[in-house]
Chains A and B, each alone.
Chain A
Amino acid sequence: MAKKLPKTDIVLAGVGWTGGIIAAELTRKGYKVVGLERGKERKTEDYLMVHDELRYQQRNEMMQDLSKETLTVRHDRTKRALPYRQHGSFLIGDGVGGSGEHWNGLTYRFFPYDFEIYTKTVERYGKDKIPADMPLQDWGITYDELVPYFEKFETMAGISGEANPHPEVPEVKYPTVPLKETPSMKMFREASKNLGYHPYIAPAATLSESYTNPDGISRGACQYCGFCERFGCEYGAKASPVVTVLPVAKETGNFEVRTHCVVRKVLHTNGKATGVLYVDTRTGEEYIQEADVVVVSAYVLNNIRILLNSKLGRPYNPETGTGVIGKNYAYQMTSAASTGFFKDKEFNLYAGTGALAGVLDDFNGDNFDHTDLNFIHGGNIALGHYGKRPISNNSVPKGTPGWGKEFKDESIFWANRSLSVGSQGSVMPNKENYIDLDPTYKDQFGDPLIRMTFNYKDNERNQQKYIREITTKILEEMGADMITTPGDQGDWDTTKYQTTHNTGGVIMGADPETSALNNYLQMWDCENVFVPGANAFPHNSGMNPTGTVGALAYRAAEGIEKYLKNGGSLV
Chain B
Amino acid sequence: MSEQDKKTPILDKRSSRRTFIKNSGLTVGGVVLGGALGSLLGKDSTKTKTIESHVHSEATAVNFNQALMYFDKTQFDTIEAAAEQIFPKTDVGPGAKELLVAYFIDHQLASNWGLNAKEYMTGPFFPTEATALFGHQTHLNRQQIFNLGIEALNAEAQKNYDNNFAALNEDDQIAILTAFEADEVTLNGAVTSGFFFRLLKSATIEGVYADPLYGGNKNMEGWKMKNFPGHQMSYANIIEKDEFVKMDPMSLNSQHNH
Chain A residues close to B by CB (< 8 Å): 43-45, 47-49, 51-54, 58-60, 65-67, 70, 73, 80, 82-86, 88, 180-183, 209-210, 212, 216-226, 234-237, 242-244, 247, 346-348, 350-352, 356, 385, 389-391, 394, 402-405, 408-409, 412-413, 415-416, 440-442, 491-495
Contact = CB atoms under 8 A, between A and B. Distances in A.
Interface of B: 20, 23-27, 30-39, 85-88, 90-93, 95, 113, 116-122, 124, 126, 129-130, 132-137, 174, 177, 181, 201, 205-206, 208-211, 213-214, 222-223, 225-236, 238-242, 244-245, 252, 255-256
A218 B91 CA distance: 50
A273 B253 CA distance: 52
A216 B31 contact: yes
The majority secondary structure among interface residues of chain B is loop
Contact of B37 (A217, A235, A385): A235
B211 A54 contact: yes
A544 to B, nearest CB: 21
A44 B33 CA distance: 7
Contacts of B210: 52-54, 58, 391
A31 B25 CA distance: 36
A348 B206 contact: no
A206 to B, nearest CB: 12
Given A210-B27, A225-B232, A86 B227 contact: no
A491 B129 CA distance: 16
Nearest to A47: B36
A346 B37 contact: no
A343 B252 CA distance: 32
Contacts of B235: 223-226, 348, 350-352
Contact of B30 (A82, A181, A218, A394): A218
B133 A491 contact: yes
B110 to A, nearest CB: 14
Query: Which of B26, B32, B132, B208 has the most chain A CB atoms closer than 10 A to its own CB?
Result: B32
Contacts of A80: 126, 129
B31 A403 contact: no
Given A51-B252, A351-B238, A44 B135 contact: no
Nearest to B118: A65
Contacts of A494: 133-135
A235 B255 contact: no
Query: Which of B88, B206, B235, B255 has the most chain A CB atoms closer than 10 A to its own CB?
Result: B235
19 contacts: A43-B35, A44-B34, A45-B35, A49-B256, A51-B211, A66-B120, A86-B135, A182-B239, A183-B241, A218-B31, A223-B24, A223-B234, A235-B36, A243-B33, A390-B208, A391-B209, A403-B181, A405-B90, A409-B92
Given A180-B239, A220-B33, A416-B227, A86 B119 contact: yes
